[in-house]
Structure 1
Amino acid sequence: MPRDIRQGAETNWQVIGEGERPALAIHCMLGAGEMWAPVLAPLGAQISTTTFDLPGHGKSAPWTPETVEPGAYQRLATQIAASFIERPVDLIGHSFGAIVALRIAVAAPEAVRSLTLVEPVLFAAARNTAEWNTLRPHQDHLEALMAAGEHEEAARRFVRDWGVGLPWEALPAHQRAQFIAQMAIIAEVAPGNFDDPGNICREGGLEQIDAPVLLVHGDRSPPITARVCESIAARLPDVGTACVPGAGHMLPLTHAQQLSELIALNLDRS
């Protein structure tokens, strides 16, 4: 796997597939680029997909914030992702990665050939809905735990709500330790899901994306994800939506075949 400096951050990346069309896939918080392999390998004859490990994830270097500016991590992740784009790409993102993908598409719609957003956590798109109001106290509690240094309990709750459905105790000890260490990143990133530091939801922003967009969520995910997909879809000129039965937030891991087939449909539209 190649490893080089991107936007000042030592970044690990790989390419899946040998297709003529370039693609870029961005993973979720607490994930890694390699999680995309089961989803993207079946599409390898059509697209060559770059997947990279976000700062502080996978085999990329640890991340230490250099500034207290809100949204610093999201901005860095977006800059790293953009550094891999040389011509219009099929852009794919999951969870936080979907926010990064959407931020690129809003800033540079000409760089995107197609856009697939899986379980985007851009909660700002559903501000003041019933689902937002239900989620907000849980977020406040999570932020309070992290501010108090109770990172293990914060990790336990985060994985419970946004993981693959396994109990915390069922995870390997090394993975639990990794998740606990990564709570510092979650503490920086999570508020931005609500506050939209990249101003993605600005008036006229989403509307200028003219590439085919597919929004995917699971029917067992937190209700806010379906509301976010609905809110984003309502503002896009060329959009499709899909709900994967039996899937939760981590559907790229649990429902790789279904997601691969959905991405293939969106590729055919561009």
Structure 2
Amino acid sequence: MVRLPGLGLLVRSRTGHGAARGTAGLEPAMFVHGLGGSSQNWSALMASLDDTVEGRALDLPGFGHSPPPDNGDYSIAAHARAVIRLLEAEGRGPVHLFGNSLGGAVTVKVAAARPDLVRTLTLISPALPELPPQTSALPTALASVPGMAALYVRVTRDWPPERRTEALLSLCYGDPSVVGGPERAAAATEYQRRIDLPYFWDVMIRSTRGIVNAYTLSGQHSLWRQAERVLAPTLLVYGVRDRLVSVRMARRASRAFRDSRLLTIPGGGHVAMMEHPYLVERAFRDLRDEISARARGGAAGSTVTATADMSTAASGS
């Protein structure tokens, strides 16, 4: 638990092969989860990259095991400030910065505001403004409407944790069947723990409002304008079967970021780092190799957009 003024953040790190031999020579990385998620969402990807980066993942304020912030601010900007403060406190920058969904929007703001802290940016289904949103995402957005969360609680009060977890997996995964029995049981236990927290719904509602409010910002504060300001080489990952962030936004994103490459996963959903960690790992390693080759060659940065049809690889992962 990292204590900062007005803020407490749970930060997880790997204790696998990378940690066993020491982290000397490994480049630092930070992983930022999405709405309703936690640092545990990155476990599979962090494990596969622990020979390459010294990875840490945080629970955003009010999520996972991090307590709510003292000021009760759950806006995208507030989450971004929390990440920046953590990076400054740890002195690990510049880092390879990863973000999923809400965490994607947060890390875009971090990279735009503090390019000195970001080595590369990997965005998995980032919550960038999509108006109108696809219909399957509307129920999530409605959580920001006063009274809707209370109505949902009343309607689902008799649901067992397993049913709640199944609904969540169906929303986030392109193919929920990839989650095995033990993983489902662990997810149900963790979901119930979070729902029992007295501040759970307040955090969810305020964070959802933060996303909705960010969608309405214009001018220099627009998330798309922020994306244009990002200097770091950027990897964009989208799932064709994503029910929360439409793959149709992938092309716009690849044009917005000045130095981007794009991976689309035909069978993927909203959490590719959990559903297809091998594909995300491989794409990130390709990004690192590209940046290393560019540095050796002294070449200037350029926009690189590559759409990869990974259907064969996905079926084998």
Q: Who is 1:93 aligned against? A: 99
**How big is the shift at 1:240?**
0.8
CA distance in 2, matches of 1:266, 1:230: 18
Match of 2:211 among 193, 200, 218: 193
Q: Secondary structure at the match of 2:202?
A: helix
CA distance in 1, matches of 2:156, 2:69: 19
Most deviating of 214-223 and 132-141: 132-141
**How big is the shift at 1:142?**
3.5
Q: Mark the CA change 1:174 to 1:12 in structure 2 (over 3 Å): closer, same or farther.
A: closer
- Largest Rg, 1 or 2: 2
Q: Who is 2:168 aligned against? A: 159
Q: Who is 1:46 aligned against? A: 52
**How big is the shift at 1:160?**
6.4
Q: Mark the CA change 1:109 to 1:219 in structure 2 (over 3 Å): closer, same or farther.
A: same
CA distance in 2, matches of 1:108, 1:97: 16
Q: Secondary structure at the match of 2:106?
A: helix
Deviations for 1:158-179, whole angstroms, at most 9, x for unmatched residues?
Answer: 836643448xx98636624624
Q: Mark the CA change 1:259 to 1:72 in structure 2 (over 3 Å): closer, same or farther.
A: same
Q: Kindly report which structure 2 residues correspond to 1:103-122, keeping only aligned pairs within 5 A, or say none.
A: 103-122=109-128
TM-score (normalizing by structure 1)? 0.80
Q: Secondary structure at the match of 1:226?
A: coil
Q: Who is 1:80 aligned against? A: 82
Contact 1:233-1:240 within 8 A present in 2 as well: yes
How large is the RMSD of aligned CA atoms in angstroms? 3.2
Contact 1:30-1:179 within 8 A present in 2 as well: no
CA distance in 2, matches of 1:265, 1:78: 27
Most deviating of 206-215 and 88-97: 206-215
Contact 2:36-2:63 within 8 A present in 1 as well: yes
Q: Kindly report which structure 2 residues correspond to 1:168-207, keeping only aligned pairs within 5 A, or say none.
A: 172=188, 175-176=191-192, 178-179=194-195, 182-196=200-214, 199-201=221-223, 203=225, 205-207=226-228
Most deviating of 27-36 and 191-200: 191-200
**How big is the shift at 1:219?**
1.6
Deviations for 1:193-212, whole angstroms, at most 9, x for unmatched residues?
Answer: 23317824264x32232221
Q: Secondary structure at the match of 1:269?
A: helix
Unaligned runs of 5+ in 1: none
The answer to whether structure 1 residue 208 and structure 2 residue 209 are counterparts is: no
Count of aligned residue pairs for this structure pair: 257
Q: Mark the CA change 1:100 to 1:177 in structure 2 (over 3 Å): closer, same or farther.
A: same
Match of 1:14 among 12, 15, 32: 12
TM-score (normalizing by structure 2)? 0.69
User: What is the percent sequence identity of the aligned residues?
Assistant: 21
Q: Mark the CA change 1:105 to 1:237 in structure 2 (over 3 Å): closer, same or farther.
A: same
Q: Mark the CA change 1:57 to 1:202 in structure 2 (over 3 Å): closer, same or farther.
A: closer
Unaligned runs of 5+ in 2: 158-163, 178-183, 292-317
**How big is the shift at 1:78?**
1.5
